[in-house]
Amino acid sequence: MNIDYIQLGLALCVGVSLAAACGFRVFVPLLAMALGVRYMGMDIDENLAWVASDAAIICLGAATVVEVLAYYIPVVDNLLDTITGPAAMIAGAFVAAGMLGDLPDWAQWGTGIIAGAGAAGTVQLATTAARAGSTGTTAAIGNPIISTAENILSVIGSFLAIFAPLLAVVGAILLIFVTFLFLRKIRAIIRKRKEAAAATA
């Protein structure tokens, strides 16, 4: 099997970038991938070419609208976080693997699961923590702001993944790094609060 490693690297950048965007919204990157395949000739595993069909695009478009609007409904947004966590990782694995159709199946899906699901899951953890923090400190008043930021970042991330994959993957790596720092900060705050509560008990 002859593999163009430059093309493979670009495909991996596209896949991981789309996967990271899945951490913000599950269906926006999937819809972006479907439109890219349909109208821009993006390469995708032939077994997943159905994603660019009329039925798939219509379903993904409807799901995108429902998901985006649902995050503006109080309580529902926090409930969605518990559901979209696993869904984001599945979507991340799917988009990453879909871009790597030139690889053997084991490498294609192994990379998709490790890189794609990992990127999506990491970003999703940060968004969940941010929304939980907003709910606790602002009584959910600040949640629409977080939802709007997530929507924007998902669209921008998906756009860059298709049109500027190298820039997008750098952004995805930076985002994952910032996410780790953010989660570490959250854990430190929680630990200090527990220690303070234990000291006053």
121: Cβ contacts below 8 Å, ≥ 6 apart = 23, 85, 88, 89, 92
State pTM to two decimals.
Answer: 0.84
CA-angle at 29, arms to 24 and 30, nearest 5° = 125
150-174 residues labelled b (16+ CB within 10 A) or e (exposed):
bbebbbebbebbbeebeebbebbee
Band (3; pLDDT cuts 50, 70, 90): low
How far is it, in rounded angstroms, from Cα 92 to Cα 23? 8
Q: 116-170 pLDDT, tens per residue?
A: 999 999 888 888 877 877 777 777 787 888 889 889 989 998 998 888 888 887 8
According to the model, what pLDDT value does residue 141 have? 80
* Rounded distance between C-alpha atoms, residue 180 and residue 108, angstroms: 26
What is the rounded CA–CA span in Å between residue 19 and residue 93? Answer: 7
Name, in order, each residue with C-beta under 8 angstroms of 132's C-beta and a sequence gap of 6 or more: 78, 81
- Write down the pLDDT at residue 99: 92
pLDDT at 110: 93
**pLDDT value of residue 9:** 85
Candidates 124, 134, 133; CA nearest to 189 is 133
Measure the CA–CA gap between 50 and 142, rounded to whole angstroms: 39
Kindly report, residue by residue over 17-34, the tens digit of the pLDDT: 999 999 999 999 999 999
**Tens digit of each residue's pLDDT (9 = 90 or more) over 30-82:** 999 999 999 988 889 888 999 999 999 999 999 999 999 999 988 888 788 88
CA distances from 79 to 71, 72, 76, 157 (A): 9, 12, 5, 24
